[in-house]
Chains A and B, each alone.
Chain A
Amino acid sequence: MTELPSVPELLDTLERDLRTLLHERGLDDPAMIGIHTGGAWVAADLHRRLALREPLGTLDIAFYRDDFSTRSLHPQVRPSSLPFPVEDRNIILIDDVIFSGRTIRAAMNEIFDYGRPRTIVLAALVDRGQRELPIAADITGYRVSLQPGEQIKLQGPDPLLLTLREST
């Protein structure tokens, strides 16, 4: 079994790297969006740490998934809420675990239905590789290679904890 890092330490890393990236690229007054459910937990913490002006946005990408024809809708899809204009904004998009890249593709499609952002940067708590689409995170807290059949999951919201388990 792989030893997993503590989430608060990873959040320290994400905060530090985000501040550096925003500064270096001159991304003024960014707005933050977390992807339900784990990404929204991570985003809530980072949003507070960075003291952003606009309230946090959240996306539930269930209606934008590319596999609707082969599986059911999740019974509890929360309405997406972007309480700020997306048009011409610098957006920080947050997810908990990046894997195939399909969630991020769906999230970007949804964001563009609200308007045309100036930039989107992507930060993920964990990158477990095995991408199926040409999508990369700008900032990652922790990279891990999993054994076949292993899943990494963020539990929360309080406390936030990474767990590893065998998928069935």
Chain B
Amino acid sequence: MNDQLNAEGGLHHFLTVEGMPRELLERILGTAESFSGVIEKSVKKVPLLRGRTVINLFFEPSTRTRTTFELAAKRLSADVLNINLATSATSKGESLLDMLRNLEAMQCDMFVVRHADSGAAHFIARHVAPHVSVVNAGDGRHAHPTQAMLDMYTIRRHKGDFEPLRVAIVGDILHSRVARSQIHALNGLGAGEVRVIAPRTLLPKDVDSLGTHVYHDIRRGLKDVDVVITLRLQKERMQGALLPSEQEYYQLYGISQERMALARSDAIVMHPGPINRGVEIESAVADGPQSVILNQVTNGIAVRMAVMSMCLEGRATPVEENA
């Protein structure tokens, strides 16, 4: 999937973590680290993308992701436009490609795309003008690469190197683009062991090919892990009787304080949000000392700043010293 890289091997689009060279994943984390100081200034901005225009194209509702992309672009001094397509445009019968041509005619530099269909961001990336970058902000069940990278950044900040880590991803893997991207990112960064914990009905058919250890029993799955990633139960994507009831799901797979005691004592708990309290996670855990859920939100801004600036940076030229 390397139509997202430019001729020099840098980012042009950011559509998926799958197949991304480890060096580039580490560069995203390193660049995000360097943006972490920006919020300490009284002017929480750097002038890096001054004069560039970023358009948030959201075909699916989102608050957190859209807001943090918007904030990231603004902290880079870009101009940002939010287009909520749940309410406009395509409902008038305009084709997606016509709409893209119109937005390109407004001289924008980047589309941040969220869509309910898998592959939507790739489709747009194939059809935009060559100077426009596309960042995938979630496409169907396929990928949510910036969410995965902010999760990696959060893990690295709390736990350091990936090699010795055992990471468990718990819940609705089947419908989760976040889980898919996380698994690719964890394997790409060399995490020691990646476990998925879920009922059979909420696992994708190809789970064995993803490079994970599968557990159906949560007590065995959580044993001695360093990181617990809880997923949201995606009620709106459920079709058919995949689950008996939310209560039963909580009984079998909910993350409670008692279950957290099976993980390492210094384990962290993560959740991509929004949380269904009492369904996939107990409030006492979500708000407890091991939770880094709000850190994930903060880290999302720095990681999205890194991805946006890396996509839009100039092509490499020889470095001139002491300029």
Q: Residues of A at under 8 Å CB distance from B?
A: 38, 60, 62-64, 67-81, 96-100, 102-103, 109-110, 112-115, 128, 151-153, 167-168
Kindly list chain A residues whose C-beta atoms are within 8 Å of the C-beta of B320: 167
Within the assembled complex, what's the spacing in Å between the Cα atoms of A13 and B34?
Answer: 34
Within the assembled complex, what's the spacing in Å between the Cα atoms of A63 and B323?
Answer: 15
Decide: A79 and B37 in contact? CB cutoff 8 A: yes
* Interface of chain B: mostly helix, strand, loop or mixed: loop
Q: Does B322 contact A (CB under 8 A)?
A: yes
10 residue pairs A–B, Cβ–Cβ below 8 Å? A63-B38, A73-B310, A75-B30, A76-B34, A77-B34, A79-B34, A79-B36, A80-B37, A109-B47, A151-B321
Nearest to A69 among chain B residues (CB) is: B314
Additional pairs, 11, CB under 8 Å, beyond known A70-B314, A73-B309 = A63-B48, A64-B46, A64-B48, A68-B49, A68-B313, A73-B31, A73-B310, A75-B27, A77-B31, A110-B46, A153-B322
Within the assembled complex, what's the spacing in Å between the Cα atoms of A75 and B10?
Answer: 11
Nearest to B77 among chain A residues (CB) is: A63
Kindly list chain A residues whose C-beta atoms are within 8 Å of the C-beta of B47: 63-64, 109
Counting chain B residues whose Cβ lies within 8 A of the other chain, the interface size class is 20 to 34
Asked whether A152 and B37 contact (CB < 8 A) given A63-B47, A70-B317, the answer is: no
Kindly list chain A residues whose C-beta atoms are within 8 Å of the C-beta of B30: 75-76
Q: Residues of B at under 8 Å CB distance from A?
A: 8, 10, 27, 30-31, 33-38, 41-43, 45-49, 309-310, 313-323
Within the assembled complex, what's the spacing in Å between the Cα atoms of A19 and B270?
Answer: 53
Within the assembled complex, what's the spacing in Å between the Cα atoms of A64 and B45?
Answer: 10
Decide: B316 and A71 in contact? CB cutoff 8 A: yes
Nearest to B8 among chain A residues (CB) is: A72
Kindly list chain B residues whose C-beta atoms are within 8 Å of the C-beta of A114: 41-43
Kindly list chain B residues whose C-beta atoms are within 8 Å of the C-beta of A78: 34
From A64, A72, A115, A167, B321 is in contact (CB under 8 Å) with A167
Kindly list chain A residues whose C-beta atoms are within 8 Å of the C-beta of B321: 151, 153, 167
Decide: A63 and B46 in contact? CB cutoff 8 A: yes
Decide: A72 and B322 in contact? CB cutoff 8 A: no
Asked whether A103 and B323 contact (CB < 8 A) given A76-B30, A80-B37, A113-B43, the answer is: yes
Within the assembled complex, what's the spacing in Å between the Cα atoms of A113 and B318?
Answer: 29
A64 → B minimal CB distance (Å): 6
Kindly list chain B residues whose C-beta atoms are within 8 Å of the C-beta of A69: 314
Within the assembled complex, what's the spacing in Å between the Cα atoms of A80 and B322?
Answer: 19
Kindly list chain A residues whose C-beta atoms are within 8 Å of the C-beta of B35: 63, 79
Within the assembled complex, what's the spacing in Å between the Cα atoms of A146 and B314?
Answer: 29
Kindly list chain A residues whose C-beta atoms are within 8 Å of the C-beta of B36: 79
B174 → A minimal CB distance (Å): 37
Kindly list chain B residues whose C-beta atoms are within 8 Å of the C-beta of A153: 321-322
A58 → B minimal CB distance (Å): 10
A84 → B minimal CB distance (Å): 12
Within the assembled complex, what's the spacing in Å between the Cα atoms of A78 and B33?
Answer: 8
B157 → A minimal CB distance (Å): 13
Q: Which of A63, A64, A75 has the most CB of B within 10 A?
A: A63
From A71, A102, A128, B319 is in contact (CB under 8 Å) with A71
A2 → B minimal CB distance (Å): 15
Decide: B41 and A113 in contact? CB cutoff 8 A: yes
A20 → B minimal CB distance (Å): 26
Kindly list chain B residues whose C-beta atoms are within 8 Å of the C-beta of A115: 42
Nearest to B48 among chain A residues (CB) is: A63
Within the assembled complex, what's the spacing in Å between the Cα atoms of A72 and B9?
Answer: 12
Within the assembled complex, what's the spacing in Å between the Cα atoms of A67 and B316?
Answer: 11
Nearest to A114 among chain B residues (CB) is: B41
Kindly list chain A residues whose C-beta atoms are within 8 Å of the C-beta of B31: 73, 75, 77
A93 → B minimal CB distance (Å): 15
Within the assembled complex, what's the spacing in Å between the Cα atoms of A102 and B321?
Answer: 12
Decide: A96 and B42 in contact? CB cutoff 8 A: no
Kindly list chain A residues whose C-beta atoms are within 8 Å of the C-beta of B319: 71, 74
Decide: B314 and A113 in contact? CB cutoff 8 A: no
Kindly list chain B residues whose C-beta atoms are within 8 Å of the C-beta of A81: 37
Interchain residue pairs A-B with the least CB separation, the first 3: A79-B37, A63-B46, A77-B34
Kindly list chain B residues whose C-beta atoms are within 8 Å of the C-beta of A38: 322
B31 → A minimal CB distance (Å): 7
